[in-house]
């Protein structure tokens, strides 16, 4: 690229102190003639090629007035440049009669502090390019460029227009970043050439003197990099004894390293236009051609004008493109927030789809941490590294913490610089260690560099100079362990996400609290309603029972057999109804009950339960109740737990049609999965740290699909007649009691083999 011309200049200044600064080369390119004049227009210096172009020896020109070459009209034109500011050129066509013919030139004159510089470029045409065709080309280009608001599209169009006007093989737009490094962001090229789009270049490629020159002079044109420079004679200005300042010269010569570099790249001709933003060099339009290429001065000027138009449009387009990015983030945010606020599981909504969480701040990876549970999204360090990073980040007091060079603050991050040289941490809750981390890789990882960066070491005058490739190495040193920076609108995006999450969590908590309150109230109401209703129902029921009994006892002689049978059924049904009402009453009582927890020796409690149970059975000596090991002493409500065991033992014998009935009561140690007292496999509900009690029988068993339903109120699997009746409330009551103790109850069973009822009491 053209800028390497200037790197070599920097390299030179670093290694070869006797070399001249780039604006004082003391020579020009050979496609024209340069004359340095005094303000009185006396010729002070000329390029050593006047014979070739003007048919006059150098010595015949030095010290002569300009009218030895130009007529009065053109001399007046040259004088006009003195009225302009330094570097501002006047241009006109001249014809000069040499020995045997007349030649036409583009004359370009400007003045510096100490001289008037007149440059003559030979041209074929004596007439200037028609203003109208120039205007038509320019206005078409401008109209096209203005039609787009997207920065990259705009620059691409600019490159297209420059290529159309000039016919260069390749036109690139090169943009500098805040550190001065740059990249090719738009490119138009001949199809067969390999693309440079996306390539990055180190800041040192364009050192400050070169930058400074580009901000002063907006166009640089080298039609043939293979040519040799033509020296100025004399080398120094005879009045000032200084080298001629060629900052604004269109013919200024180029460095041999530049030539070598471009030849290596297969470039023979180049033109560079400066893109200026707020008086700073924002970028360059860089044009390459594979063969020497001359473009007329008017066309060069037109390109320069286009460059200036692009520069002036830049601010507008940049703010537009920043605006576009902000708008994109905003719409992403609102879509995102809406979906997480509506989701049942907002954590899921946060990470699905993954790309949305990343796009929110343009990150390449993220980690969502809720307590100690971490979910990774995209390209991230591994879980252990993220864990350690979060531990470290706990010391950062800010709720939003962003760095583009994490390894410099947290050296352990060097190990995962490829994924997380940049970190953006959003703390949602400190108490609960809720946070989101976004990651960006080291910049080098994202840099596309063609070829071996260290391949070109250039030797100049026996010295190894700083070459473009070497300077890439230096750049690597400076950007190593650094990611692209997080910009304010991305931080805003993260904060908006936090606010939304906090808002959602708070409103969900609010909602939940309200629902809980409501639930508690309606539960209380329901329990008192059930209690009142069942209590009041008992009174008329008692009446039905009593009057039926009276009828059966005292009026049996006036009833026929069918009447007696009906009355008997009324009596039975009222007894059954009382059982049901009693069960309902018990359940509603439990709904309002306060637990009276106390240390309870379950062995003593079971002794009582078994005594009462045996007493209720005629075949009490046949009752086989096994307790393989002593039960623990636990904190529980004695009365209620007594009811639980009574119920389970009762059911164990009731739903058993085997002659050798038995029941086994025991417990499994909390958290121990898989081993019962009998050494068999037992499934324990997860996360249980408390003993799991069980009551096992060798009864009829329960079909798989009823294992859940039997805990419902009034759910019975058999007719009233079979297995001795029952309200179907025992297990519902058991479940309620267990839940009052914050425990769980479940059953495992095998039809025909037996059942095991498990419960915990926390
Ligand atoms: P019930 O008053 O009918 O015994 P429960 O709520 O105690 O009411 O039990 C509900 C149903 O669960 C019973 O009707 C029975 O079908 C079934 N059941 C309860 N315990 C056992 C068991 N140990 N073996 C087999 N089935 C059982």
- Average confidence (pLDDT) over 434-448: 78
Ligand 1 atom index nearest CA of 725: 3
Q: What pLDDT is recorded for position 227? A: 94
Q: How far is residue 160's CA from residue 171's CA, in Å, rounded to a whole number?
A: 8
Q: What pLDDT is recorded for position 447? A: 52
Task: Let me know whether 604 and 747 are in one domain.
Answer: yes
Nearest CA to ligand 1 atom 12: 710
The 10 Å CB-count burial string (b at 16+, else e) for 638-647 is: bebbbbbbbb
Number of independent structural domains in the chain: 5
Test site for ligand 1: of 710, 718, 752, 755, most ligand atoms within 8 A of the Cβ: 710
Handedness of CA 652, 658, 661, 667 (dihedral sign): negative
Q: What pLDDT is recorded for position 356? A: 83
- Average confidence (pLDDT) over 120-148: 73
Average pLDDT, the chain: 83
Q: What pLDDT is recorded for position 1? A: 40
* Cα 727 to averaged position of ligand 1 atoms, centre (Å): 10
Task: Let me know whether 232 and 347 are in one domain.
Answer: no
Task: Let me know whether 252 and 368 are in one domain.
Answer: no
pLDDT band at 716 (very low <50, low <70, confident <90, very high): confident
- Average confidence (pLDDT) over 229-249: 92
Q: By the 8 A CB rule, do 757 and 691 touch?
A: no
pLDDT band at 215 (very low <50, low <70, confident <90, very high): confident
Give residue for tokens 């002593």: 630
Task: Let me know whether 228 and 333 are in one domain.
Answer: no
The mean-pLDDT minimum among 6-15, 196-205, 352-361, 717-726 falls in: 6-15
Q: How far is residue 365's CA from residue 381's CA, in Å, rounded to a whole number?
A: 9
* Cα 599 to averaged position of ligand 1 atoms, centre (Å): 29
- Retrieve residue 309's tokens: 């138009």
Question: Would 449 be classed as within a structural domain?
Answer: no
Q: How many CA atoms lie within 13 A of 476 on its CB side?
A: 14
* Cα 612 to averaged position of ligand 1 atoms, centre (Å): 20
Question: Would 295 be classed as within a structural domain?
Answer: yes
* Cα 502 to averaged position of ligand 1 atoms, centre (Å): 48
Ligand 1 atom index nearest CA of 728: 8
Domain containing 697 equals 596-760
Q: How far is residue 538's CA from residue 670's CA, in Å, rounded to a whole number?
A: 43
Task: Let me know whether 307 and 345 are in one domain.
Answer: no
Question: Would 697 be classed as within a structural domain?
Answer: yes
Question: Would 98 be classed as within a structural domain?
Answer: yes
Q: What pLDDT is recorded for position 698? A: 95
Nearest CA to ligand 1 atom 27: 655
Test site for ligand 1: of 654, 706, 731, most ligand atoms within 8 A of the Cβ: 731
Strands 625-626 and 663-668: parallel
Question: Would 88 be classed as within a structural domain?
Answer: yes
- Average confidence (pLDDT) over 493-508: 79
Q: What pLDDT is recorded for position 334? A: 82
Higher pLDDT among residues 743 and 471, named by residue: 743
Higher pLDDT among residues 570 and 138, named by residue: 570
Q: What is the CATH number of the domain that holds 43?
A: 3.30.450.20
Strand order of the β-sheet with 280-289 is 200-201, 182-189, 170-176, 280-289, 269-277, 219-222
- Average confidence (pLDDT) over 408-424: 93
The mean-pLDDT minimum among 50-64, 319-333, 671-685 falls in: 671-685
Which of 270, 297, 318 is at the close of a domain? 318
Q: What pLDDT is recorded for position 179? A: 66
pLDDT band at 7 (very low <50, low <70, confident <90, very high): very low
Question: Would 448 be classed as within a structural domain?
Answer: no
Which of 68, 100, 122 is at the close of a domain? 122
Over pLDDT 90: what percentage of the chain?
42
Nearest CA to ligand 1 atom 7: 730
Question: Would 618 be classed as within a structural domain?
Answer: yes
* Cα 659 to averaged position of ligand 1 atoms, centre (Å): 19
Q: What pLDDT is recorded for position 738? A: 93
Q: What is the CATH number of the domain that holds 613?
A: 3.30.565.10
Q: What pLDDT is recorded for position 230? A: 96
* Cα 690 to averaged position of ligand 1 atoms, centre (Å): 26
DSSP reduced 3-state for 160: helix
Task: Let me know whether 516 and 616 are in one domain.
Answer: no
Q: How far is residue 644's CA from residue 647's CA, in Å, rounded to a whole number?
A: 5
Q: What pLDDT is recorded for position 5? A: 39
How many residues does this entry show for the chain?
762
CA distances from 431 to 435, 499, 537, 586 (A): 11, 16, 53, 42
Residues 6+ positions from 322 with CB-CB distance below 8 Å: 489
pTM of the model: 0.53
The mean-pLDDT minimum among 79-88, 227-236, 506-515, 731-740 falls in: 506-515
Task: Let me know whether 603 and 548 are in one domain.
Answer: no
Q: How far is residue 384's CA from residue 370's CA, in Å, rounded to a whole number?
A: 15
* Cα 651 to averaged position of ligand 1 atoms, centre (Å): 6
Task: Let me know whether 158 and 298 are in one domain.
Answer: yes
Question: Would 460 be classed as within a structural domain?
Answer: no
Q: What pLDDT is recorded for position 207? A: 63
Strand order of the β-sheet with 90-97 is 27-28, 230-233, 43-47, 33-37, 116-122, 102-111, 90-97
Which of 419, 442, 465 is at the close of a domain? 442
Q: What pLDDT is recorded for position 681? A: 47
Q: Per-residue pLDDT tens for 654-704?
A: 999 999 999 999 999 865 444 444 444 444 444 456 899 999 999 999 999
Q: Per-residue pLDDT tens for 569-596?
A: 999 889 888 888 888 888 888 877 788 9
- The helix-helix angle for 151-166 and 297-342 (nearest 10°) equals 160
* Cα 600 to averaged position of ligand 1 atoms, centre (Å): 27
Q: What is the CATH number of the domain that holds 418?
A: 3.30.450.270
Q: How far is residue 569's CA from residue 573's CA, in Å, rounded to a whole number?
A: 6
Where does 343-420 have alpha helices with state H?
346-351, 354-359, 383-393, 406-409, 417-420
Test site for ligand 1: of 582, 725, 728, most ligand atoms within 8 A of the Cβ: 728
- Residue 57 burial by Cβ neighbours in a 10 Å radius (0-12, 13-18, 19+): exposed
- Retrieve residue 489's tokens: 């609108």
* Cα 755 to averaged position of ligand 1 atoms, centre (Å): 11
Backbone angles phi, psi at 122, to 5 degrees: -60, 145
Task: Let me know whether 747 and 617 are in one domain.
Answer: yes
pLDDT band at 212 (very low <50, low <70, confident <90, very high): confident
Task: Let me know whether 527 and 616 are in one domain.
Answer: no
Task: Let me know whether 313 and 327 are in one domain.
Answer: no
Backbone angles phi, psi at 570, to 5 degrees: -55, -45
- Residue 62 burial by Cβ neighbours in a 10 Å radius (0-12, 13-18, 19+): middle
Pocket around ligand 1 at a 6 A CB cut-off: 647, 651-652, 655, 697, 699-700, 702, 710, 715-718, 726-732, 755
Task: Let me know whether 703 and 755 are in one domain.
Answer: yes
Q: How far is residue 749's CA from residue 10's CA, in Å, rounded to a whole number?
A: 87
Q: What pLDDT is recorded for position 299? A: 87
Q: What pLDDT is recorded for position 468? A: 44
Higher pLDDT among residues 255 and 75, named by residue: 75
């Amino acid at each position: 690229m053209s800028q390497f011309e200037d790197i070599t200049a920097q390299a030179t200044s670093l290694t070869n102190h006797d070399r001249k600064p780039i604006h004082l080369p003391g020579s020009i390119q050979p496609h024209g003639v340069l004359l340095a004049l005094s303000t009185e227009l006396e010729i002070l210096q000329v390029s050593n090629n006047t014979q070739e172009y003007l048919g006059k020896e150098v010595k015949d020109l030095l010290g002569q007035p300009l009218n030895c070459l130009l007529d009065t009209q053109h001399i007046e034109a040259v004088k006009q440049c003195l009225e302009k500011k330094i570097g501002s050129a006047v241009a006109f066509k001249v014809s000069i009669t040499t020995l045997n013919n007349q030649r036409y030139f583009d004359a370009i004159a400007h003045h510096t502090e100490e001289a008037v510089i007149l440059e003559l470029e030979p041209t074929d045409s004596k007439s200037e390019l028609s203003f109208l065709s120039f205007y038509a080309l320019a206005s078409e280009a401008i109209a096209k460029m203005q039609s787009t608001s997207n920065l990259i599209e705009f620059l691409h169009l600019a490159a297209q227009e420059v290529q159309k006007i000039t016919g260069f093989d390749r036109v690139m737009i090169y943009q500098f970043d805040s550190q001065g490094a740059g990249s090719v962001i738009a490119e138009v090229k001949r199809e067969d050439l390999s693309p440079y789009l996306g390539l990055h270049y180190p800041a040192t490629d364009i050192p400050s003197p070169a930058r400074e020159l580009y901000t002063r002079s907006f166009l640089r044109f080298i039609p043939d990099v293979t040519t040799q420079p033509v020296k100025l004679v004399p080398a120094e200005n005879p009045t000032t004894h200084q080298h001629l300042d060629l900052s604004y010269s269109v013919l200024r010569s180029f460095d041999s390293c530049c030539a070598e570099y471009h030849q290596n790249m297969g470039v023979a001709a180049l033109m560079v236009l400066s893109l200026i933003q707020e008086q700073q060099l924002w970028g360059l339009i860089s044009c390459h051609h594979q063969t020497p290429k001359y473009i007329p001065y008017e066309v060069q000027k037109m390109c320069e004008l286009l460059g200036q138009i692009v520069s002036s449009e830049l601010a507008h387009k940049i703010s537009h493109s920043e605006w576009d990015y902000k708008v994109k983030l905003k719409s992403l945010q609102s879509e995102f927030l809406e979906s997480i606020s509506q989701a049942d599981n907002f954590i899921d909504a946060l990470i699905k789809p993954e790309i949305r969480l990343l796009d929110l701040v343009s990150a390449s990876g993220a980690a969502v941490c809720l307590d100690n549970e971490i979910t990774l999204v995209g390209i991230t360090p591994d879980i252990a590294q993220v864990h350690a990073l979060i531990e470290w980040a706990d010391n950062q007091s800010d709720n939003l913490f962003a760095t583009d060079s994490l390894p410099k603050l947290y050296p352990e991050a060097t190990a995962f610089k490829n994924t997380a040289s940049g970190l953006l941490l959003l703390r949602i809750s400190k108490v609960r260690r809720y946070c989101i981390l976004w990651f960006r890789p080291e910049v080098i990882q994202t840099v596309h560099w063609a070829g071996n960066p260290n391949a070109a070491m250039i030797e100049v005058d026996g010295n190894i100079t700083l070459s473009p490739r070497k300077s890439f190495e230096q750049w690597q040193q400076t950007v190593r362990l650094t990611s692209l920076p997080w910009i304010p609108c991305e931080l805003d995006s993260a904060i908006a996400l936090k606010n939304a999450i906090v808002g959602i969590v708070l409103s969900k908590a609010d909602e939940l609290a309200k629902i809980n309150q409501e639930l508690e109230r309606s539960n209380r109401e329901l329990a008192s309603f059930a209690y009142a209703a069942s209590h009041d129902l008992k009174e008329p029921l008692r009446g039905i029972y009593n009057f039926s009994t009276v009828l059966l006892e005292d009026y049996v002689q006036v009833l026929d057999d069918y009447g007696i049978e009906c009355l008997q059924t009324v009596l039975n049904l009222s007894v059954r109804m009382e059982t049901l009402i009693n069960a309902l009453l018990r359940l509603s009582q439990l709904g309002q009950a306060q637990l009276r927890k106390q240390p309870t020796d379950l062995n003593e409690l079971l002794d009582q339960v078994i005594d009462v149970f045996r007493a209720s059975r005629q075949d009490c000596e046949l009752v086989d109740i096994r307790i393989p090991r002593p039960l623990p002493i636990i904190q529980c409500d004695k009365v209620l737990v007594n009811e639980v065991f009574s119920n389970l033992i009762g059911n164990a014998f009731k739903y058993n049609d085997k002659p050798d009935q038995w029941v086994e009561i025991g417990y499994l140690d909390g958290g121990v999965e898989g081993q019962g007292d009998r050494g068999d496999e037992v499934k324990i509900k997860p996360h249980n740290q408390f003993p799991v009690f069980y009551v096992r029988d060798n009864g009829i068993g329960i079909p798989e699909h009823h294992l859940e339903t039997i805990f419902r109120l009034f759910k019975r699997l058999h007719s009233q007649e079979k297995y001795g009746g029952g309200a179907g409330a025992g297990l519902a009551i058991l479940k309620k009691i267990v839940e009052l103790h914050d425990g769980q109850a479940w059953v495992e069973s095998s039809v025909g083999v037996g059942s095991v009822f498990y419960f915990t009491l926390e």
